[in-house]
Amino acid sequence: MHPVKTLIVVLLATVVLSACQKEEEESLVNKGSPEIDLPTNPDVDSPTSPSTPQAPSQPTTPVNSFTVSISWDIPRERVNGEELLLSEIGGYEIAYKRTVDESYSIVIVDNQNSQTKELTGLPAGHYEFLIAAFDSLGIYSDYSDPTFADIGN
Protein backbone atom coordinates (compact mmCIF):
# COMPACT_ATOMS: atom_id res chain seq x y z
CA MET A 1 0.00 0.00 0.00
CA HIS A 2 1.43 3.38 -1.01
CA PRO A 3 1.04 6.39 1.26
CA VAL A 4 -1.24 9.06 -0.14
CA LYS A 5 0.75 12.07 -1.23
CA THR A 6 -0.70 15.49 -0.72
CA LEU A 7 -0.99 18.24 -3.29
CA ILE A 8 -1.02 21.70 -1.91
CA VAL A 9 -3.00 24.08 -4.03
CA VAL A 10 -2.31 27.46 -2.60
CA LEU A 11 -5.19 29.79 -3.04
CA LEU A 12 -3.29 32.92 -2.22
CA ALA A 13 -6.42 34.75 -3.01
CA THR A 14 -6.58 37.60 -0.60
CA VAL A 15 -10.22 37.07 -0.06
CA VAL A 16 -11.64 40.58 0.02
CA LEU A 17 -15.31 40.96 0.74
CA SER A 18 -17.49 43.18 -1.46
CA ALA A 19 -20.91 43.21 -3.12
CA CYS A 20 -22.23 40.07 -4.74
CA GLN A 21 -25.10 41.12 -6.96
CA LYS A 22 -27.07 39.34 -9.62
CA GLU A 23 -25.54 41.59 -12.31
CA GLU A 24 -22.07 40.48 -11.23
CA GLU A 25 -23.10 36.84 -11.45
CA GLU A 26 -24.49 37.43 -14.93
CA SER A 27 -21.31 39.23 -16.01
CA LEU A 28 -19.28 36.27 -14.78
CA VAL A 29 -21.37 33.93 -16.89
CA ASN A 30 -21.02 36.25 -19.87
CA LYS A 31 -17.23 36.20 -19.46
CA GLY A 32 -17.18 32.44 -19.85
CA SER A 33 -16.80 31.64 -16.16
CA PRO A 34 -18.59 28.57 -14.86
CA GLU A 35 -22.17 28.95 -13.71
CA ILE A 36 -22.34 28.26 -10.01
CA ASP A 37 -25.44 29.06 -7.99
CA LEU A 38 -24.29 31.16 -5.06
CA PRO A 39 -26.57 31.95 -2.16
CA THR A 40 -27.42 35.64 -2.16
CA ASN A 41 -29.15 37.95 0.26
CA PRO A 42 -31.28 40.33 -1.85
CA ASP A 43 -32.13 42.45 1.21
CA VAL A 44 -28.53 43.52 1.76
CA ASP A 45 -26.86 45.79 -0.78
CA SER A 46 -23.93 47.72 0.60
CA PRO A 47 -20.35 48.54 -0.34
CA THR A 48 -19.23 46.39 2.62
CA SER A 49 -20.53 43.09 1.23
CA PRO A 50 -18.23 40.37 -0.26
CA SER A 51 -16.11 40.85 -3.36
CA THR A 52 -14.39 38.46 -5.73
CA PRO A 53 -11.22 36.87 -4.33
CA GLN A 54 -8.07 37.03 -6.45
CA ALA A 55 -7.16 34.06 -8.64
CA PRO A 56 -5.65 31.09 -6.83
CA SER A 57 -1.97 30.45 -7.44
CA GLN A 58 -0.61 27.36 -9.18
CA PRO A 59 0.09 24.22 -7.10
CA THR A 60 3.30 24.36 -5.09
CA THR A 61 4.12 20.64 -5.16
CA PRO A 62 3.92 17.94 -7.82
CA VAL A 63 0.43 16.63 -8.43
CA ASN A 64 0.32 12.87 -8.11
CA SER A 65 -2.17 11.96 -5.42
CA PHE A 66 -5.81 11.79 -4.52
CA THR A 67 -5.65 14.25 -1.65
CA VAL A 68 -5.52 18.00 -2.15
CA SER A 69 -4.87 20.65 0.46
CA ILE A 70 -6.33 24.04 -0.43
CA SER A 71 -5.07 27.15 1.37
CA TRP A 72 -5.87 30.86 1.22
CA ASP A 73 -5.26 34.15 3.02
CA ILE A 74 -7.81 35.46 5.51
CA PRO A 75 -9.29 38.75 4.26
CA ARG A 76 -8.30 41.83 6.26
CA GLU A 77 -10.38 44.54 4.61
CA ARG A 78 -13.57 45.08 2.69
CA VAL A 79 -13.74 46.25 -0.91
CA ASN A 80 -14.39 49.82 0.26
CA GLY A 81 -11.12 49.77 2.24
CA GLU A 82 -12.71 49.46 5.68
CA GLU A 83 -11.11 47.06 8.12
CA LEU A 84 -12.72 43.62 8.12
CA LEU A 85 -12.82 42.07 11.57
CA LEU A 86 -12.28 38.35 11.85
CA SER A 87 -15.63 38.10 13.67
CA GLU A 88 -17.36 39.48 10.55
CA ILE A 89 -16.17 36.62 8.33
CA GLY A 90 -18.67 33.79 8.00
CA GLY A 91 -16.39 31.42 6.13
CA TYR A 92 -15.37 30.25 2.69
CA GLU A 93 -16.88 28.17 -0.08
CA ILE A 94 -14.66 25.98 -2.26
CA ALA A 95 -15.98 24.77 -5.62
CA TYR A 96 -14.07 22.11 -7.51
CA LYS A 97 -14.55 19.62 -10.33
CA ARG A 98 -12.69 17.57 -12.86
CA THR A 99 -12.64 19.61 -16.05
CA VAL A 100 -14.43 16.78 -17.89
CA ASP A 101 -17.35 17.00 -15.43
CA GLU A 102 -20.21 19.46 -15.74
CA SER A 103 -21.08 20.14 -12.12
CA TYR A 104 -19.01 21.37 -9.21
CA SER A 105 -18.64 19.83 -5.79
CA ILE A 106 -19.03 22.42 -3.06
CA VAL A 107 -17.31 22.42 0.32
CA ILE A 108 -18.18 24.97 3.00
CA VAL A 109 -15.53 26.01 5.49
CA ASP A 110 -17.50 27.76 8.23
CA ASN A 111 -14.55 28.58 10.47
CA GLN A 112 -13.37 32.14 9.84
CA ASN A 113 -9.95 31.26 11.35
CA SER A 114 -9.39 28.47 8.84
CA GLN A 115 -6.88 28.95 6.03
CA THR A 116 -6.76 25.39 4.69
CA LYS A 117 -9.08 22.57 3.69
CA GLU A 118 -8.05 19.06 2.73
CA LEU A 119 -10.08 17.35 0.01
CA THR A 120 -9.69 13.57 0.02
CA GLY A 121 -10.80 10.67 -2.13
CA LEU A 122 -10.49 12.54 -5.41
CA PRO A 123 -10.29 10.39 -8.55
CA ALA A 124 -7.41 11.08 -10.94
CA GLY A 125 -7.97 13.89 -13.40
CA HIS A 126 -7.44 17.50 -14.37
CA TYR A 127 -9.20 19.66 -11.75
CA GLU A 128 -10.46 23.22 -11.47
CA PHE A 129 -10.59 24.93 -8.05
CA LEU A 130 -12.34 28.20 -7.09
CA ILE A 131 -12.96 29.92 -3.77
CA ALA A 132 -15.47 32.48 -2.53
CA ALA A 133 -15.81 34.20 0.83
CA PHE A 134 -18.97 34.99 2.72
CA ASP A 135 -19.53 37.32 5.63
CA SER A 136 -21.41 36.74 8.88
CA LEU A 137 -24.62 37.94 7.20
CA GLY A 138 -24.28 35.21 4.56
CA ILE A 139 -23.42 37.59 1.73
CA TYR A 140 -21.13 35.85 -0.75
CA SER A 141 -18.35 37.20 -2.89
CA ASP A 142 -17.91 36.11 -6.47
CA TYR A 143 -15.68 33.11 -7.01
CA SER A 144 -11.99 33.68 -7.60
CA ASP A 145 -10.45 32.98 -10.96
CA PRO A 146 -9.84 29.23 -11.27
CA THR A 147 -6.68 27.31 -10.49
CA PHE A 148 -6.10 24.07 -12.39
CA ALA A 149 -4.19 20.99 -11.24
CA ASP A 150 -3.57 17.43 -12.46
CA ILE A 151 -4.26 14.88 -9.74
CA GLY A 152 -3.12 11.27 -9.87
CA ASN A 153 -1.78 11.53 -13.42
How many domains would you assign to the chain? 1
Domain membership flag for residue 58: yes
Q: What is the CATH number of the domain that holds 72?
A: 2.60.40.10
Q: In what order do the strands lie in the sheet with 116-119?
A: 6-14, 67-73, 116-119
Please report, in tens digits, the pLDDT of each residue of the chain (153 residues total): 444 444 444 343 333 333 233 333 333 333 333 445 444 444 444 556 666 677 766 655 444 558 999 998 888 877 777 888 999 999 999 999 999 999 999 999 999 999 999 999 899 999 999 998 888 988 888 788 899 999 887
**Contact at 8 Å (CB) between 138 and 39?**
yes
> What pLDDT sits at residue 126?
96
Which domain range does residue 129 map to? 6-151
Which residues are CB-neighbours of 91 under 8 A, at least 6 positions away? 108, 109, 110, 111, 112, 114, 133, 134
Domain membership flag for residue 108: yes
User: Residue 117: in which H helix or E strand, if any?
Assistant: strand 116-119
> What pLDDT sits at residue 60?
53
> What pLDDT sits at residue 6?
40
> What pLDDT sits at residue 99?
96
Domain membership flag for residue 28: yes
Against a cut of 0.85, is the pTM above it? no
Domain membership flag for residue 1: no
> What pLDDT sits at residue 49?
60
